[in-house]
Amino acid sequence: MANSRKTVKTDLRAIAHEAMLQRGLLPEFSAAVLAQAEGIAAPARGSGPGVRDLRHLPWASIDNDDSRDLDQLSVAQPLAGGAVQILVAIADVDALVAKDSPIDGHALTNTTSVYTAAQIFPMLPEKLSTDLTSLNESQVRLAVVIDMTVAADGTVTAGDIYRAAVYNHAKLAYNSVAAWLEGTGPAPEALTAVAGLDEQLRIQDRAAQAMRNMRETYGALRLETAEARPVFEDDVLVDMRPDPRNRAKDLIEDFMVAANGVSAKYLEKKGYPSLRRVLHTPKRWDRIVALAAELGARLPAKPSAPALDAFLDARRQADPEGYPDVSLAVVKLLGSGEYALELPGADTEGHFGLAVRDYTHSTAPNRRFPDLIAQRLLKAAIAGVPSPYANEELATLAAHCTTQEDNANKVERQVRKSAAALLMASRIGARFNGIVTGASEKGTWVRVTGPMAEGRVVRGFEGLDVGDHVRVELVRTDVARGFIDFARARERS
């Protein structure tokens, strides 16, 4: 493959396919999976014992502009005293994907959809994930509804879970909704087409902000890392640009965090096990303390989420442009989350970054296998029947899902690096300002911008640590392997 600044998507697809295989992930569906999918002719029936009819509510989805696998819808209803009832509908994937079926087996192997720079490798066949089990616009679908009462101060005071038939009245996108909420853009056409939906979203936005403020009082971290997204023009890669957070993304995130908390507590209350999402207390807290000290702040010697959040908020206020770099360094030092079996009555460590103890993944069953597991457990709890999984099986699944999530992240990162290497290949010898994103015995990595790319520091890395700013020079690229090599730049005389 020739190194050039531009390439068609097919070049990166070949790299992605090989990366999937190397990481033990299945890039294609087997004949048995395709045959099962072919035999599913229609979405699950939206009626039956215990299924409520909630089609009349003004449900809407908010997701990426190009998302087709819609997992969630939301709606809000004002209550007395400034409280709000928030309903989150989750696609009932289990209704069409039976446990231990061929489709389930593929999903269990990969455990997640893999989103690379050139191709998506869906966890489920697209006939399901983008159609029959997707909460598509103007379609009736079966869902598991997470029903939350949110007080005026943002506290979730009550929660319930049940099955229902729902109808998506509007497919909305993050960027346009955020611009409208922030007053920098017009109302999206899909929003104005539904009477009352504008006020509906205003209510949701206010509730979400109250929920976020409440979580932050307990130490939930306000992190902001701009992941690079590929920009194609007629299948030609022209740039890698950051995809920043916005108000609409925050709205959905706040609802999902709360819904996942309600799911965990519901299973606990009903006496069922769950797969909790855990982020341990950071092992590299000492480096976070040192990083804060370099910026004139003081953190306690023992890990404290509220203290860390206060530091991050101060940095955001003092240096908005430089804040993403500080946030990225903290994210790298916090480490990765993992899945763990929680038995009723046990005491899980919780999620350090979100400052919550009760937390599972239950809101994206089209995209993540732990969420499909959670859905099956929730439906069993609703029906009062035994758990579909033995405890030993769940413990094994927790470890497997953690491992495969890490493999999927590595595939996405490798393809992202290959895309960046293509853009950087003609710039050997160019110098960049960067921030150190990784430092261990395995190597030292730095992220640069223009285009956004991450590479290894192969010379002059001595003494560098996560969060350090450094001037580097591009010395080599290897598109097929996704390698970008930098050397610490020396001052030119």
CATH number of the domain within which 464 lies: 2.40.50.140
Instruction: Kindly state whether residue 212 falls inside one of the protein's structural domains.
Output: yes
Residues 6+ apart with CB under 8 A from 175: 65, 246, 248
Distance of CA 390 to the CA centre of its chain: 28
pLDDT at 493: 47
Number of domains in the chain: 3
In a domain? residue 167:
yes
Let me know if residue 173 belongs to a domain: yes
Q: Which residues contact 384 (CB under 8 A, 6 or more apart)?
A: none
Query: Which tokens is 27 given?
Result: 């890039």
Residue 219: predicted pLDDT: 67
360 within a domain of the structure (yes/no): no
Does 329 share its domain with 215? no
Q: Identify whether residues 69 and 213 lie together within a single domain.
A: yes
* Pairing between β-strand 483-488 and β-strand 453-459 as defined by DSSP bridges: parallel
177 and 295 co-located in one domain:
no
Residue 393 inside a domain? The answer is no
**Does 42 share its domain with 179?**
yes
Do 170 and 314 lie in one domain? The reply is no
Per-residue pLDDT at 3: 43
Same structural domain for residues 328 and 200? Answer: no
Residue 97's pLDDT is: 98
C-alpha 316/C-alpha 323 separation (Å) is 5
Q: Are residues 173 and 319 in the same domain?
A: no
374 and 329 in a single domain? The answer is no
Q: Residues 65, 103: one domain? A: yes
Identify the pLDDT of residue 329: 82
Is residue 76 packed enough to be buried (19+ CB in 10 Å), middle (13-18) or exposed (0-12)?
buried
Residue 405 covered by a domain: no
Where the chain has pLDDT below 50, the residues are 1-7, 493
Clarify whether residues 215 and 320 are in a common domain: no
Q: What's the pLDDT at 2?
A: 42
Range of the domain at 231: 9-262+369-386
Q: Is the dihedral of CA 318, 322, 326, 328 positive or negative?
A: positive
465 and 381 assigned to the same domain: no
pLDDT of residue 280: 76
Q: Does residue 60 lie within any of the structural domains?
A: yes
Q: What is the pLDDT of residue 222?
A: 67
